[in-house]
């Protein structure tokens, strides 16, 4: 806790450790990872690792927290051009494709697997991943839908319900396939686009106004 900068402990080593630990944990899981490996692969002595992080658990929590944050902002940074009066179908399609493209990467898939496998040991991490992942996405979408709805361009009762429907219409199938079948099951850009388009079509059939 408190501050890692109590004295002049090198920032570069701190991040070197975090980076190495990230790779090791992603590859081997929490129990499978080993602190000697992490130290060696950070180019740092084991003692230094323990100078920067109190324990394996602490290190793991920081690692997962950091990737989760990074991934979350990657998803939500680009584009928020919500209010444009363009074709709604167009808007939803590009939203869907961006979402799919960002989330369906080996790294984020592996993070999900890791966190899900450790729900028992680290329930907090999974909760945070849910909040910064699906939940954050759905809240953002719900806001957009409400605005569209007020302009009479969408017919949405409960905007959160609609957002969840849209989100999972788009994400669920490829996400679940990739989770269980591995990175080879990640669809290519073409398939992604077709899948996203069908999701948009279904959504607009249920919530559209025209």
Partner DNA sequence: ACAAAGTACTGGACTGTATAGTTTATTTCA
Partner DNA sequence: TGAAATAAACTATACAGTCCAGTACTTTGT
The residue ranges that bind a second copy (CB under 8 A) are 27-29, 31-32, 112-121, 123, 126-127, 129-130, 134, 161, 164-165, 168-169, 171-173, 176-177, 179-182, 198-199, 201-203, 205-207
Question: For residues 38 and 75, which CB has a smaller minimum distance to DNA in the complex?
Answer: 38
Stretch that binds DNA, among 7-15, 85-93, 101-109, 200-208 (CB under 7 A): 7-15
Radius of gyration of the chain (CA): 20
61 near DNA, judged by CB under 7 A: no
Q: How far is the CB of 173 from DNA (least distance, A)?
A: 36
Using the minimum distance from each CB to DNA, give the nearer residue, 51 or 197: 51
Contacts 24+ apart (CB under 8 A), 129-133: 129/64, 129/68, 132/68, 132/69, 132/71, 132/72, 133/68, 133/71, 133/72, 133/75
Count Cβ atoms below 10 Å from residue 42 Cβ, excluding itself.
23
C-alpha span between 151 and 6 (Å, rounded): 54
Task: Tell me which of DNA, a second copy, none is bound by residue 45, counting a contact when its beta carbon lies within the kind-specific cut-off of 5 to 8 angstroms.
Answer: DNA
Distances 157 to 144, 160, 167, 169, 208 between C-alpha atoms, Å = 13, 9, 16, 18, 12
- Token pair for 205: 């059939």
Least separation in angstroms between residue 49's CB and DNA is: 8
Site for DNA contains 161 (CB under 7 A) = no
* Cβ 161 to a second copy shortest distance, Å: 6
Structure tokens at 123: 């329930």
Residue 119: CA count within 13 A, CB half-sphere: 8
Cβ proximity to DNA: between 33 and 100 the closer is: 33
In angstroms, give the least distance from the CB of 121 to DNA: 13
Q: How far is the CB of 41 from DNA (least distance, A)?
A: 12
Rounded alpha-carbon distances, angstroms, from residue 152 to 62, 94, 102, 165, 208: 45, 21, 30, 19, 10
Per the document, the length of the chain is 210
Indicate whether 85 belongs to the interface with DNA (CB under 7 A): no
Which of residues 19, 23, 29, 35 is near DNA by CB under 7 A?
Answer: 35
Is 51 or 179 the residue whose CB approaches DNA more closely? 51
Contact positions vs DNA (CB under 7 A): 6-10, 13, 32-36, 43-48, 50-52, 55-57
């Amino acid at each position: 806790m408190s501050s890692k900068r109590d004295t002049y402990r090198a920032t570069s080593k701190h991040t070197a450790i975090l980076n190495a630990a990230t790779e090791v944990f992603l590859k081997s899981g929490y129990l499978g990872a080993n602190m000697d490996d992490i130290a060696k692969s950070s180019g740092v002595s084991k003692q230094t690792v323990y100078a920067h992080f109190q324990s394996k658990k602490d290190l793991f929590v920081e690692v997962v927290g950091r990737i989760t944050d990074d991934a979350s902002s990657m998803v939500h940074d680009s584009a928020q051009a919500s209010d444009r009066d363009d074709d709604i179908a167009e808007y939803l399609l590009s939203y869907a494709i961006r979402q799919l493209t960002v989330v369906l990467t080996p790294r984020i898939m592996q993070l999900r697997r890791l966190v899900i496998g450790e729900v028992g040991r680290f329930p907090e991490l999974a909760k945070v991943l849910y909040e910064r992942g699906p939940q954050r996405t759905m809240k953002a979408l719900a806001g957009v839908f409400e605005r569209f709805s007020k302009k009479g361009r969408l017919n949405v009762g409960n905007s959160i319900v609609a957002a969840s429907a849209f989100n999972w219409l788009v994400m669920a199938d490829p996400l679940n396939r990739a989770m269980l079948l591995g990175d080879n099951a990640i669809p290519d850009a073409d398939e992604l686009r077709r899948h996203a388009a069908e999701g948009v079509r279904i959504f607009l059939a249920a919530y559209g106004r025209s």
